[in-house]
Chains A and B, each alone.
Chain A
Amino acid sequence: MTVDRPGHIVLEQVTQRFALPREGREFTAVQDVSFDVGGGEFVSIVGPSGCGKSTLLALVAGLVPVTAGRISLDGRPVDGVTPRLGFVFQRDALFPWKTVAENVGLPLLFRGVAAAAARPRVAEWIARIGLGGFEHYHPHQLSGGMRKRVALAMTMVYEPQIVLMDEPFGALDVQTRNLMENDLLDLWAQFRRTVVFVTHDLEEAIALSDRIVVMTASPGRVKSVYEIGLPRPRSVTEIRFHPDFGRLYETIWKDLKDEVRLGYERSRHGLPG
């Protein structure tokens, strides 16, 4: 929770409501959410499905304006999309009509970086994600894990100070997922960007994060915040055998399980909030 690095995020009393015109009422996705993320910190948000985790990321990214409250990045209030921020979507959101190299280079093109200057940076990132030789492939020709790595390179190539990740590995098989999580930790250790990572998988959250924010069932509020404090560098496959891992899991799960049950009951009865 140091403020010395850039990429400091502060949320104060953030509330987000959506109008449900057909039902003639409002739906509160998140309510009075306050927490902050230090520059270079890795924070995960966990909570039952439908608790507004993804909404929270969209708000921080400036994709959607907040209904009430304040979000600021390094002291500047968020009022739209900022170029210092990266977002890895739940689905890969690659541009299917562009090749791997074109996808990775797209943010540089958008930023007006000359092609000659962009080329080595794109090549460097393609090599880093291990997709050398696949530059001219289109996304549909790649496996799910490869597409995810392209999405990651596309985000990292312009070196954003803050990276938001919305259940990025949810659709991958367990082995690929663990490899990707380790890759992500390596990248994070190397570049030290602020990461806000949304997941419903508590094990994943513990293995990756410095801190975990637990959200309540909808409307999403902050229920509690946990310091993880497991030693780094970590390997996600091995950190699970650390004596503190089980203890942390048990403590946080106790907190989370009532919310998960509540979220499940509500979704079963079709009650959104």
Chain B
Amino acid sequence: MATSAAATVSRAEIRLWRAGLLGAFLALWEVATRRAWVDPFFVSQPTVLGAQIFDWVRSGFIVRHLLVTMQETIIGFVLGTLLGVAVGFAFARWQTLAHVFVPLMVALNAMPRVVLAPLFILWFGLGLLSKVVMVISLVFFVVFFSTYTGIREVDRDLVNNARILGASPRHMIRHVLLPSALTWIFASLRTSVGFALIGAVVGEYLGAHEGMGYVISYAESMFNATGVLAGLLVLMAAVIAIDLGLKRLDARFSYWKPIAK
């Protein structure tokens, strides 16, 4: 009895702990910079950061840049996901294709995209296109590999049962393979959203006129730690918001799955 009581810490208690730790961290940061234990030039200050973000939001400055980044992220994310699912499906369906191209996929995926970013900018310009390509190059592989695995790992009994029950190849995709792969695809989407945003921001950081990466890069070139950290905080908030949305969507699509115990 004692162990079970100890194991079930209430949700409220956990929230309290989280808020408490965050508060303590911010307080320590504030005090340390005010008493000049640490130079705020290097690490900024929570109150200054808050003021900066508030100012950005009020003037509409950050909204404009965030929208640019979001646009690149979403376009690249959607295209990369569609491409990943389509190719993953094709590879699972036609084994020869997989035998020929999977090693190539692995090799391509091993290339650090961050280093490729300058090339993308060279090829596709300073604008939207180079960032979208950058995002696709990150999202595609994550989605491709999980779709491919998802379809290959489909329960053999279910496939055999569908065959016995009279499924045509199209039925098989629609009623067995796709629903079964959807769980894997969704799990990968939540990872790839983070990747998508990173791709867009890194692209902007290395060459752009606008977007969050540009804002951060500009602040950095001015040795403005507050600007860099405020930019990062805004990005963080954006990722958390998107992730929450996807979590809801995931729950909707895997209603048939029992809650993990």
Contacts and interface: CB of A to CB of B under 8 A. Distances in A.
A140 B157 contact: no
A38 to B, nearest CB: 22
Contacts of B179: 95, 97
A97 B154 CA distance: 13
Nearest to B168: A110
B49 interface: no
A60 to B, nearest CB: 11
Nearest to B158: A93
A83 B168 CA distance: 12
A110 B167 contact: yes
A91 interface: yes
Nearest to B176: A95
Interface in B134-162: 155, 157-158, 160-162
Contact of B175 (A89, A95, A138): A95
A77 interface: no
Contact of B161 (A83, A87, A97): A87
B241 interface: no
Contacts of B258: 140
Contact of B163 (A81, A139, A140, A154): A81
Given A97-B256, A138-B256, A83 B157 contact: no
Nearest to B163: A81
Q: Is the interface of B mostly helix, strand, loop or mixed?
A: helix
B94 interface: no
B36 interface: no
Interface string A144-173: 000000000010001000000000000000
A273 interface: no
B164 to A, nearest CB: 5
A230 to B, nearest CB: 31
Contact of B165 (A91, A138, A154): A154
Nearest to B165: A107
B161 A138 contact: no
Question: What range describes how many residues of B lie at the interface?
Answer: 20 to 34
B151 to A, nearest CB: 15
A87 B180 CA distance: 21
A171 to B, nearest CB: 13
A107 B166 contact: yes
B186 to A, nearest CB: 13
Contacts of A107: 165-166
Question: What range describes how many residues of A lie at the interface?
Answer: 20 to 34
Contacts, number: 59
Contacts of A98: 175, 256
A110 B161 contact: no
Contacts of B171: 109-110
Given A93-B157, A95-B158, A95-B176, A86 B256 contact: no
A87 to B, nearest CB: 5
B123 interface: no
B37 interface: no
A106 B157 contact: no
Contacts of A97: 179-180, 254, 256
A111 B189 CA distance: 35
Point out which of B163, B166, B171, B175 has the most chain A C-beta atoms below 10 A from its C-beta: B166
B164 A81 contact: yes
Contact of A106 (B155, B175, B256): B175
B257 interface: yes
Nearest to B172: A110
A86 B163 CA distance: 10
A153 to B, nearest CB: 12
Contacts of A87: 160-161, 164
A85 interface: yes
A127 interface: no
A31 B77 CA distance: 55
B256 A140 contact: yes
Given A110-B171, A138-B256, A86 B164 contact: yes
A69 B75 CA distance: 58
Interface in B31-79: none
Given A93-B158, A95-B176, A140-B258, A83 B163 contact: no
A163 to B, nearest CB: 11
Contact of A110 (B155, B165, B180, B256): B165
B164 A106 contact: no
A1 interface: no
A132 interface: no
A219 B256 CA distance: 41
The 4 A-B pairs of least Cβ separation, nearest first, read: A110-B166, A93-B161, A107-B165, A93-B157
5 contacts: A81-B166, A87-B161, A93-B161, A110-B171, A140-B257
Given A93-B158, A95-B176, 17 more contacts: A63-B160, A63-B163, A81-B166, A85-B164, A87-B164, A89-B160, A91-B157, A93-B155, A93-B157, A96-B256, A97-B180, A97-B256, A98-B175, A106-B165, A107-B165, A138-B255, A138-B256
